């Protein structure tokens, strides 16, 4: 078992945030025919996760502190 690097851990965090964002968007679309409020709610969650992912990326890469190797 290797010691995780900052870059690997950051990439994993971003991947999980993007997967969560995609899942929330899918739930929003799946609820579209049943319940408009739930649909819009899940689409809102998707947008918030997208914003969170962008903010995490901006924060983590500020100053070039992330090394990818």
Structure token digits, residue 48? 């918030």
**Contact call for residues 67 and 8 (beta carbons, < 8 A):** no
Higher-pLDDT residue of 63, 50:
50
pLDDT at 66: 53
How many Cα neighbours within 13 Å face the side chain of 38?
A: 9
- Please compute Rg for the chain using Cα positions: 16
Confidence of residue 37 (pLDDT cuts 50, 70, 90): very high
Domain ranges for the chain: 6-55
What mean pLDDT comes out for the span 1-16?
A: 90
């Amino acid at each position: 078992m290797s010691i995780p690097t900052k870059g690997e851990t950051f990439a994993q965090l971003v991947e999980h945030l993007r997967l969560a964002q995609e899942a929330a968007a899918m739930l929003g679309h799946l609820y579209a025919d049943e319940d408009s409020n739930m649909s819009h709610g899940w689409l809102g969650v998707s947008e918030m996760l997208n914003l969170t992912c962008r903010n995490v990326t901006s924060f983590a890469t500020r100053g070039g502190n992330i090394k990818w190797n």
